[in-house]
Amino acid sequence: MKIDQVRRHALSLPDSSEAPHFHFSSFRVKGRIFVTVPPDEARLHVFVDEDVREQALALDPEFLEKLFWGGKAVGLRVTLADADEAVVEALVRKAWEHRSRPARRRAKRP
């Protein structure tokens, strides 16, 4: 799979845009990042929730791995050269859905 295919799909989702994120490219919905693309464009970082991540890892470990940020698993790293297009598109959509939900407000602690 090529980054241009990912770009087309990500930007076809409602309210999506592409913007720089430091030295990465990113796809956002309502200002919230749902996918980042490292400069080499060989991989993709997809920010999905834990249930989606674990199910995807069980089904497609040959091109998916956990994505960690600060020691916490926050999504998936996709190796595009080995990736199945339908799986990647489904994951991008899930990430978009996850980020497009209204942010939950944290309860104030007394």
Mean pLDDT of the chain: 94
Report field, pTM of the whole predicted structure over 0.85: yes
pLDDT tens column, 2-13: 999 999 999 999
C-alpha neighbours within 13 Å on the C-beta side of residue 108: 1
Contact status, residue 75 vs residue 53, Cβ threshold 8 Å: yes
pLDDT tens column, 12-30: 999 999 999 999 999 999 9
Please report which helix (H) or strand (E) contains residue 36, including its range: strand 32-37
